[in-house]
Amino acid sequence: MPTARMPRLTGSNFAYQHLPFDTFLDDAAALGREELELWGIAPHLHVPQVGNADVRGIRRRIEARGLAAHCLTPEQVMYPVNLASPVDWLRTQSIAMFRRAAEICAELGARKLLLTPGRGREDEPPGPAWRRSVDAIGDIAAYADTLGVTCVLEALQPVESNLVNDSRTLAAMLDEIGTPRLGAVLDTVTMAVAGESVDDAFAALGDRIRHVHLIDGRPMGHLAWGDGELPLSDYLRAFERHGYDGCMTFELFGDGTYAFDPRAAVERCDAAVRRCSTAGPGE
């Protein structure tokens, strides 16, 4: 069976939140990464707290190791952030947080800002929450565009959002927002939970897929490769077949134990991808 080419893997501080930021940077450099997806989590990079001088210092620490920021993913599921909230102050503050995140992207030199759609109340019809999400994301994407930053929108599992849970619904929201530079994120766990394949996602979204979270699951879990049951080789071959040459990130959460030794979890993911690939890192 043919193997796939080695993908562009980012370094990411997912699972590093209980270690110093410099430990993450050192590990990313040692593992041969060139680009980073930065999880905007306290204490590493808490978007409402970090100032421009802090961001410039973070960029210097990144670049001193030969790395570059590629994508900023503010924490937006565990934190009180919800672009579709019916509560005016929460929605307004959430929009302001993402607009600030776009400014941080520009300071970091990161090209992408990752957004999620939020969720409505469980006791309301989906229409009003959908409208709130569309309006908020359109506002953020337009502001980010003035800064040279492209936003990418990610579907979520039903336990995380009641608005966008699969590629077809994600495509519908992108169509309604109607901002050409707004792209899509493909998360392999969300995809698997929705019963979709990589081919299904590309059928719905095509070249609007501009970032990938490449993670194992059962099908849920956000697991290191080998800890779940998802078909990594099939996924990588499908990405190659569709000509995807963008970045992929291991978004490692699991049950929290990856945070005890995140580098080991990343190394296991690297090894799994290498086994499925024809080209080694840097080739």
pLDDT single digits (tens) 68-82: 999 999 999 888 999
pLDDT digits 0-9 by tens, 38-50: 999 999 999 999 9
The answer to whether the CB of 153 falls within 8 A of the CB of 185 is: yes
pLDDT recorded at residue 257:
96
Range of weakest confidence among 121-125, 147-151, 167-171? 121-125
d(CA 266, CA 249): 10
pLDDT recorded at residue 282:
41
pLDDT digits 0-9 by tens, 9-31: 999 999 999 999 999 999 999 99
Confidence band, pLDDT 50/70/90 cuts, at residue 281: very low
Number of residues assigned to the chain: 283
d(CA 261, CA 199): 34
Q: Give the containing element (helix H, strand E) for 205.
A: helix 198-205
The answer to whether the peptide bond before residue 219 is cis (omega within 30 degrees of 0) is yes
Stretch 253-268: mean pLDDT: 96
pLDDT recorded at residue 49:
95
Whether the per-residue pLDDT at 278 is higher than 70: the answer is no
Strand pairing class (247-249; 209-213): parallel
SS3 197: coil
Whether the per-residue pLDDT at 236 is higher than 80: the answer is yes
Whether the per-residue pLDDT at 63 is higher than 90: the answer is yes
> pTM for this structure?
0.94
d(CA 13, CA 17): 7
Confidence band, pLDDT 50/70/90 cuts, at residue 2: low
pLDDT recorded at residue 3:
66
- With a pLDDT cut of 70, the percent of the chain lying above it is 96
For 34-51, give one letter per residue: b (16+ CB within 10 A) or e: bbbbbbbbeebbebeebe
> In whole numbers, what is the pLDDT of the chain averaged over residues?
95
Confidence band, pLDDT 50/70/90 cuts, at residue 283: very low
pLDDT digits 0-9 by tens, 182-208: 999 999 999 999 999 999 999 999 999
Whether the per-residue pLDDT at 280 is higher than 70: the answer is no
Q: Identity (one letter) of the amino acid at 78? A: M
pLDDT recorded at residue 277:
85
pLDDT digits 0-9 by tens, 136-147: 999 999 999 999
